[in-house]
Amino acid sequence: MEEIKLMKGNEAFAEAVIREGVDAYFGYPITPQSEVIEYLMLEEPYKRTGMVVLQAESEIGAIHMVYGAAGAGKKAVTSSSSPGISLKQEGISYMAGSELPCVMLNVVRGGPGLGTIQPSQADYFQTVKGGGHGDYKLIVLAPASVQEMADFVEDGFKMAFKYRTPVMLLSDGLIGQMMEKVQLKPQKARLSNEEIREKYGSWATIGHKPEERTIITSLELKSERQEKHNHKLQAKYREIEKKEVRLEKFNCENADYLLVAYGSSARICQKTIQLGKEKGINIGLIRPITLWPFPSDEINKAADKVKGVLSVELSAGQMVDDVRLAVNGKVPVEHYGRFGGMIHSPDEVLEALEKNFIK
């Protein structure tokens, strides 16, 4: 049994990256995410496992280093916060197009532009709807605790390699900066070059003989072939939608109203359920753990039993679009959220629910 530690979300992520047997981390500091690279530099994993930790010249440099490492079948990680993730979008689209696995972390801060360094969930559209160019999807995991900041590293890599696709952990300044108890997994060994050849040799660029060579590219000038490649990507995305949806439900049996919230807002909404009970209001909560694929079916089913659905996020209303599509007009769906770095309290969520559906 591993020791229980008190860690910040960012630190737990960094330690989990080392223990996952990751080959390389490439990043660039930005608040509220800088503890990731600070922790890695202090821990010196290059001494523990041989893992590379490198501060790139920029976020754009970092994501393309991830592209290079992933192309060679290595486990590579990058992390940043909102403005830095915007810079990475070109490389992310290239990785999706080239079918390269990686795990990325966005510790979201308030925007737009440089915005503020306080927590926000306003990068939902960027992460779930594209961000970069072209028809692609990222698998998006939304941690709601320090423990999940660690656990989702392993989960993310499993899916990233299974589907050969980039995975994003969409966190925020609150989960990144807060400290909670965390229990870490034991150290995994990094794969040897022989193991990489065996597992990923069919696609990775690892020094093949000329007749067996593999090419990692997102470029295909013949449109017929590019369409075919796109069909392949879309078939993969349909499979992910079928198999990888994850969610958590709270108090959904016999609830009269339903909250839908992810990450830090899902934590806040759990307290709202309790405050509602004290006032005789029966509230349920669906917490999407994967934002893509989105738990549309479960939300649609839950909508049958309630009078209204409130989508709660630290934004002006982004996920609410997906909630509305899921509910498909069965009951009213409204949005509530503070934004620009402000955080709603559990009481404010309850007041919003009452205002929208009860008063």
Partner 1 sequence: MTEEIIIAGFGGQGVLSMGKILAYSGIMQDQEVSWMPSYGPEMRGGTANVTVILSDEKISSPVLRNFDTAIVLNQPSMNKFEETVKPGGILLYDPNGILHPPTRKDIRIYKIEGALEASRMKSSKTFNMIVLGAYLKINPVVKMENVLKGLKKSLPERHHHLIPLNEEAIKVGLEKVEKVS
Task: Provide the binding-site residues for partner 1, judged by CB under 8 A.
Answer: 4, 6, 31-32, 116-118, 173-174, 177-181, 264, 267-274, 343-348
283 SS3 class = strand
Residue number with CB closer to partner 1 (23 or 172): 172
Contact 266, 246 (CB under 8 A): no
First-to-last C-alpha distance (Å) of the chain: 51
Contact 167, 141 (CB under 8 A): yes
| Tokens found for residue 263 | 């990450």
Bond into 32 cis (ω within 30) = yes
Smallest separation (angstroms) from partner 1 to the CB of 150: 16
H/E stretch holding 181 reads strand 179-183
Smallest separation (angstroms) from partner 1 to the CB of 98: 37
Residue number with CB closer to partner 1 (181 or 243): 181
Smallest separation (angstroms) from partner 1 to the CB of 27: 19
Residue number with CB closer to partner 1 (38 or 90): 38
Residue number with CB closer to partner 1 (291 or 349): 349
Smallest separation (angstroms) from partner 1 to the CB of 272: 8
Residue number with CB closer to partner 1 (288 or 293): 288
Going from the C-alpha of 65 to that of each of 28, 36, 91, 171, 334, the distances in angstroms are: 12, 17, 9, 22, 42
Q: What angle do CA 108, 114, 119 make, to 5 degrees?
A: 30
Residue number with CB closer to partner 1 (140 or 182): 182
**In this structure, is the dihedral angle defined by the CA atoms of residues 160, 180, 85 and 141, taken in order, positive or negative?**
positive
Residue number with CB closer to partner 1 (19 or 344): 344
Smallest separation (angstroms) from partner 1 to the CB of 142: 16
Smallest separation (angstroms) from partner 1 to the CB of 127: 22
Task: Transcribe 201-221 into DSSP letters.
Answer: TTTS-S---GGG-----S---
Smallest separation (angstroms) from partner 1 to the CB of 231: 44
Task: Transcribe 66-100 into DSSP letters.
Answer: HHHHHHTT--EEEEE-HHHHHHHHHHHHHHHHTT-
Residue number with CB closer to partner 1 (271 or 301): 271
Contact 286, 247 (CB under 8 A): yes
Smallest separation (angstroms) from partner 1 to the CB of 258: 17
